[in-house]
Structure 1
Amino acid sequence: MSDLHDMMARWAQPGVVDWIGARPARAADIQVLDRADITDAGVDRDRGRAGKRAVTLMQAEHVPVIAACLGRDALDPATFRRNILVRRLNLNGLKGREVQVGTAILRFTTICAPCSLMERLLGHGAYAAMRGHGGWCAEVVRPGSIALGDQVRPID
């Protein structure tokens, strides 16, 4: 294994579940949760879409970056309509990897690009502000449960 490959596979510390949300329907308000079950279709109480986009995750450290790009002091994580906010672990390094979140195991599949709704919710420039910061989609490898404060760690 090359040095570069070794370095890319390492992580300094596990992440932490910072926020959990579910959307019961496409345009419905986000329900903020302290804990949730993750089924094959995604986060329980979410509108569900099994497969490569079953769960959406976003890096908590990116929220203030997006806010700064929009000239705001802070943004509510519910605005982004993602399922899980994770802090302390660089999610961008996890594409294709399996990650344990609580007792569930997810596989990161593709970036979760912002949608045009962000422009309506956050104003002009929101789509551009979120590019590269919108998080990741994941498929469910093993259902389980998650709660605020749970560890998020790549499976080696």
Structure 2
Amino acid sequence: MEALRHEVIPVTVEALHVSSVHAYEGRPADGPRPDPAPVAHRSIEVRANLGIVGDRYFNHAAHRNAAVTVFAVESLDALGITASPLLTRRNIVLRGFRIDDLAARPGTAGAVFSLDSGAGAVRFQAHRPANPCAWMDVVLGSGAFRGLRGHGGVRCVPLDDGTLELGPAVLAVVSA
């Protein structure tokens, strides 16, 4: 990771997900709850230390270090899954960077990284991995739960206010 520090890496923001409700509650065999609001967005508003405006984890103390999840769509590609990456319910879906490498490991702090999709850089502090759950087999296909272990993304806290948009962006690892 040391070699990536301050390097600007071109990525693509493939999907942005914001939802005011938990759709994957209860038993996976019963199916997901209907999501009453559109979840795909062209842009999102991020608030420092709070999360994404309108999201179910925004300003929830229990999720302060996990308010935003960032996911690499290549994790689905590797499994041959062609379903929408929005089904993972990760907030920011990127192409072009192994985001899982930035998660905190036991006894260490996660990396600080920034994303800039044209409206200015927004920094994030990576914390724990965003481990997949059994719902992944239901919504993405059999084997997704096991296949995404270690590749489910990273839970983060935003350090800056800002806007992120779909399309070309740059990622910079500020500290690893």
Q: Report the TM-score when normalising by structure 1.
A: 0.81
8 Å contact kept, 1:56–1:83 = yes
2:70 paired residue among 45, 53, 57? 57
CA offset digits 1:98-120 (Å, max 9, x no partner): 11123321111011001122233
- Paired residues of 2:129 and 2:152 also in contact (CA < 8 A): yes
1:85 partnered with 2:99: no
CA distance in 2, matches of 1:123, 1:61: 16
Return the alpha-carbon distance in structure 1 between the equivalents of residues 100 and 73 of structure 2. 12
User: 2-side partners of 1:108 and 1:14: how far apart?
Assistant: 19
Shift of 1:11: 5.3
- Structure 1 unaligned runs (5+)? none
Of 21, 25, 46, 2:55 maps to 46
Equivalenced residue count is 147
C-alpha RMSD of the superposition: 2.2
Distance 1:16 1:154, change over 3 A: farther
Q: CA deviation at 1:82?
A: 0.4
TM-superposed deviation, 1:154:
1.5
Identity %: 23
Residues in 2 aligned to 1:17 and 1:124: alpha-carbon distance in whole angstroms: 26
8 A Cα contact 1:42 1:55, kept in partner: yes
Gaps in structure 2 of 5+ consecutive residues: 24-33, 104-109
Q: Is residue 100 of structure 2 the alignment partner of residue 100 of structure 1?
A: no
- 1:135 corresponds to which residue? 153
Deviates more, 1:92-101 or 1:77-86: 92-101
- Structure 1 residue ranges (4+ consecutive) displaced by more than 3 angstroms after TM superposition: 5-12
The answer on whether the counterparts of 1:57 and 1:85 sit within 8 Å (CA) in structure 2 is yes
Whole-Å Cα distance in 2 between the matches of residues 123 and 155 of structure 1?
Answer: 36
Residues 154 and 115 (structure 1 numbering): CA distance in 2 closer, same or farther, change over 3 Å? same
TM, length-normalised to structure 2: 0.73
Structure 1, 97-106 or 54-63: larger mean CA deviation: 97-106
